[in-house]
Amino acid sequence: MKYFILAGEKSGDLHGSNLVKQINLIDAKAEIIGWGGDQMNSAGVNILVHHQELAIMGILGVFKNLFKLKSLFNLFSNQIRELKPDTIIFIDYGGFNLKAAKIAKQGGFYTQFYIAPKVWAWNKSRINSIKKWVDQLYVIFPFELDLFKEKGISTHYIGNPLKDAIDAFIPNPEFRYVNIDYIALLAGSRRQEIKASLPIFEELVKSRPEQDFIIAGVSEFKDLYEQTNIKVVYDQTYDLLSCSSVAVVTSGTATLETALLNIPQIVVYKTDWLFYTLAKMVIKIKYISLVNIILDKPAVPELIQNEFYSKNIQTWLLKLIDKKSIEYKDQKINYKNLIELIGPSGASKMAAEKIVLFAKNQAK
């Protein structure tokens, strides 16, 4: 079977590489081509376009790159017509991939979407596009199953690939902070998030000199971390989290990872006023952290915008450091419920099995 995979960003490249490994185990004669990155390439994918070429952020970015986008979609259309894959798999990156799925479907190809666009957060009109252009949808959050099925979309919940990553994690025995009682600080995975979080983290560290704080840094943004006096550990987030007492986590995927590692957390987030105001008008969800969104309750504290400041964090730290506190115990109970909701690991394996089966059935 011939598979074409389109992953438009770094996280999609990671999930794509894990998916490809499983596809190759199931289909020994698999030929896999696609758009992705280094990890997919290492897994055996013939990469035609690197995901860095697709790095276009926000509405302004789209307007600035209209010609480039048109060129990319034309290239995609030409490639699939020339290569004639048995199925095309889109991974996350909904804004771009849904348009590509439309091109593929109108071209007569079978389309499968792994990690659904987050229509529950904003732009629910995309559900209609998914129904039109996607044959099979694979979702990673439990609540998404009913949301899409109710609209008549062939939807499968396959678990969450983060659970796979957590279960596969083996702590580094040489990690130098294992026996220190510290608080982990996660400033985010984007430059603007880090720039917004670091000054507040510095205030926090100064206000509690008796406490050890360590930042889980990303080496890609080393230039930003070098401007702070806080200790930084690069590219070892799981090691740092797994032996910390509490974590202060900038909202994003890391909030779910922290919960799956069973570490008490305070979720924080700050962005510029204009972007936040516009986002509030568009985004229609009660919570910002994945933990609270999945559980549909305030399971972890969220300090957003003006609430994200040193004294507020300190108040929550004192509660969560105390293992006898109601807040600490409640978080642990909520984490247990979260893990049960998400289910066991094996998302990549289950997705691969369903993707290959669908492709083979259509080829008959």
**Can you give the pLDDT at residue 254?**
94
CB 127 within 8 A of CB 151: yes
Comparing 342 with 61, which gets the higher pLDDT? 342
The model's pLDDT over 254-294, given as tens digits with 9 standing for 90+, comes to: 999 999 999 999 999 997 666 556 656 566 778 999 999 99
Contact (Cβ atoms closer than 8 angstroms) between residue 16 and residue 44: no
Q: Specify burial of residue 168 (Cβ count, 10 A radius: 0-12, 13-18, 19+).
A: exposed
Q: Within 10 Å of residue 323's Cβ, how many Cβ atoms? A: 10
Tell me what pLDDT residue 166 has.
93
Confidence band (pLDDT; 50, 70, 90) for 59?
Answer: very low
CB under 8 A, 24+ apart: contacts of 20-28: 20/44, 20/45, 21/348, 22/348, 22/349, 22/351, 22/352, 22/353, 23/352, 23/355, 23/356, 25/352, 26/352, 26/353, 26/356, 27/1, 27/356
Mean pLDDT, the chain, as a whole number?
A: 91
Q: Confidence class of residue 58 from pLDDT cuts 50, 70 and 90?
A: very low
pLDDT digits (tens, 9 = 90+) for 74-110: 999 999 999 999 999 999 988 899 999 999 999 999 9
* pLDDT above 50 for 60: no
Span 113-134, mean pLDDT?
88
pLDDT of residue 275: 59
DSSP 7-59: E-SHHHHHHHHHHHHHHHHH-TT-EEEEEE-HHHHHTT-EEEEEGGGG---HH
pLDDT at 283: 66
Percent of the chain with pLDDT over 90: 76
Query: Tell me, what's the pLDDT at 102?
Result: 97
Q: What is the pLDDT of residue 94?
A: 87
The pLDDT-based confidence of 119 (bands split at 50, 70, 90) is confident
What's the burial of 102, exposed, middle or buried (CB within 10 Å: 0-12/13-18/19+)? middle
What confidence tier does 191 reach under pLDDT thresholds 50, 70, 90? confident
Q: What is the pLDDT of residue 105?
A: 97
- H helix count then E strand count, the chain: 17, 13
In our burial notation (b when 16+ CB lie closer than 10 A, e otherwise), range 255-275 reads bbbbbbbebbbbbbbbeeeee
Show the domains of the chain with their CATH numbers: 2-159+346-363 (3.40.50.2000), 182-342 (3.40.50.2000)
The answer, yes or no, to whether residue 62 has pLDDT greater than 50, is no
Q: Closest by alpha carbon to 334, among 348, 320, 345, 346?
A: 320
pLDDT at 57: 46
* C-alpha pair distances (Å), 144 with each of 40, 117, 186, 294, 300: 26, 10, 27, 10, 21
Neighbour tally for 235: CB within 10 Å: 11
